[in-house]
Structure 1
């Protein structure tokens, strides 16, 4: 079977990114012909060169399209439009696929997949990585009511035309299903069209976080006898970086052995740099390759999964949650959605309300005094990861959906 995949943001384990689809593509390529239509944006950002840029057996069409988190709205729209134009052109040139897999974000990548599917008369599967356009609208990036309506129309049209819809969290699935069941729509659909496939993690890479690797990091970064809290990910507008920095500074004087590591890059990086310059308890760590990040998570005593308190963000599926639990490091989450339910149900983390620096500082101070509780939560989280977060198992589910969609043409 020939599967064409439309994804603007391809990464591999050498990149400072989650690389979800690298694992899924590698799994699919063992039994099917795979053509990936993407960009080379992340290829030049590789930190190491230990892995092939494209998994073995995957054919690739690469557009030269720039993109970065610091871009403003105008430049992002230009980037999205350039990729969509390229993807449609290449999608019409490749051998006819049996099924197409369109991945948002951005929504325009999935839109391009839908257009090619329509023109070539093949079914397509829509993967919803974030609730677009709800997310950019909530962040104030789409102030025009007319533009909001048009984007929602695009979203609904994609739901309608897709053979199946895949989301990365149960809350996303609920939102999409509610949209499909809304009254007054001729194209109503129910939960049978929507499947949750969690973001997940790479357990084989997590196994690289050995005692020796962690000890070497502690030695290199002078973290012996330190209690470490890690935030690893994008310093984006939605990640509520200022709240974490404020909590770190509140605790600095009373807890001199506590260190907060901020690992990544993005819009709020200057804030982290300034805080690190004035507070010894805060350190900025350069972005790490995917295969190296697990040792940092295992080094930490706690990790923080932080977002602004916007309802649309309650549904997200952050890679840092899965990666942290995979190596036995419990998490603090700041959104009252499915992640809160997960960590509380499995006793592998704690919830603190978003944008509340004092509440975050108080929770950390409590946990500093309860190392046994923290250790037990980490062990529970690792069991959850082994059972539910393995990307090899998730890839098998995705393969089944694609195969079934192709047969339903």
Structure 2
């Protein structure tokens, strides 16, 4: 079977990114022909050279379309359009696939996949990583109401035309179901994590990192991921300041890059208990997560963000580090129902500081949550199992 994959961003474990599809493509390419239509955005951002850029058996067609988190709205829109144009052209040039796998974000990548599927008269499967256009509209990136209506109309038409839809969280599945999409077209596949890479976070590597960072005897709170507008970095800085007086033994590590990096640099320069960590390759992040006593997965208090499926949630739980989430949606249910974390209201720095203060005064709570974290991750978040589900959906799509 020949599978054409439309994804604007391709990463591998040498990159400071989740590399979800690297694991999925590696699994599927063992038994099927895979053609990936993507861009070279992340190829230039590799931090190491330990892994091949493509999984064995994957053929790549890649456009040189720049993109980064600090771009403005118009520049991002141009990048989305450039990739969609390239993907449409390449999709009509490659050998005819049996099925097409379209991955958003952005929504324009899925649109290109749908167009090629229609022209080549083959089925396509829609993987929904984020709710577009709901997210950019909620963030004020699409102020024009006419444009909003067009985007929402395109979104629904894509759901309708896809042979099958794969949302990355129960919240996304509920949203799509409420648009009138039949239940039989929906399969929830969580973002997941890579247990082969998580196994690198051994006692020895964690101890070495702790010594290197001079963190012996200190409590560690970790935020790892994008410093984007939606991630509520100012709230986390506020919580760090509120906690400092009562818990002077706590160090906050912020690992990543993005829009609020300047703000974090200023905070780290002013306060010794806040440290800014450069982005790390995917295969190394698990040691940082295991080093931490607790990690924080924070977002603005926007309803659309409750459906998110953040990679840092899965990575943290995979090494037994409990998580504090600020979404009211399915991630809150996950950590509370499984005892692997806690909920703190978005936009409330004092509440987060109080929650952390309570946990550090009662370390037995952290220990119990740590055991529960690994258990739920091992049974639910393994990307090898998710890849098998993905392959089955693609195979069934052509029948």
Query: If the TM-score is normalised by the length of the shorter chain, which range does it land in?
Result: over 0.9
Q: Indicate the residue corresponding to 1:153 in structure 2.
A: 153
RMSD of aligned residue pairs (Cα, Å): 0.5
Q: Indicate the residue corresponding to 1:272 in structure 2.
A: 264
In structure 1, distance between residues paired with 2:89 and 2:66: 18
Residue 229 of structure 1 deviates from its aligned partner by 0.3
Residue 236 of structure 1 deviates from its aligned partner by 0.1
In structure 2, distance between residues paired with 1:252 and 1:275: 13
TM-score of the two chains, using structure 2 as the length reference: 0.99
Residue 270 of structure 1 deviates from its aligned partner by 0.6
Q: Indicate the residue corresponding to 1:186 in structure 2.
A: none
Q: Indicate the residue corresponding to 2:390 in structure 1.
A: 398
**SS state at 2:306 partner:** helix
In structure 1, distance between residues paired with 2:172 and 2:147: 22
Instruction: Find out whether 1:215 has 2:207 as its counterpart.
Output: yes
Instruction: Find out whether 1:319 has 2:297 as its counterpart.
Output: no
**SS state at 1:233 partner:** strand
Q: Indicate the residue corresponding to 2:332 in structure 1.
A: 340
Q: Indicate the residue corresponding to 1:198 in structure 2.
A: 190
Residue 280 of structure 1 deviates from its aligned partner by 1.1
Deviations 1:2-53 (A, max 9, x none): 0000000110000000110000000000000000000010000000010000
Q: Indicate the residue corresponding to 1:297 in structure 2.
A: 289
Instruction: Find out whether 1:282 has 2:274 as its counterpart.
Output: yes
Q: Indicate the residue corresponding to 1:124 in structure 2.
A: 124
- Alpha-carbon contact 2:246-2:357 (below 8 Å) kept: no
Q: Indicate the residue corresponding to 2:79 in structure 1.
A: 79
In structure 2, distance between residues paired with 1:269 and 1:160: 39
Matches within 5 A, 1:2-401: 2-179=2-179, 181=180, 189-401=181-393
**SS state at 2:257 partner:** coil
In structure 1, distance between residues paired with 2:109 and 2:62: 14
Residue 190 of structure 1 deviates from its aligned partner by 1.5
Q: Which moved more, 1:9-18 or 1:245-254?
A: 245-254
Residue 255 of structure 1 deviates from its aligned partner by 1.6
In structure 2, distance between residues paired with 1:355 and 1:279: 21
TM-score of the two chains, using structure 1 as the length reference: 0.97
Extract unaligned runs of 5+ from structure 1.
182-188
Q: Indicate the residue corresponding to 1:184 in structure 2.
A: none
**SS state at 1:238 partner:** helix
In structure 1, distance between residues paired with 2:374 and 2:47: 27
**SS state at 2:393 partner:** helix
In structure 2, distance between residues paired with 1:76 and 1:200: 27
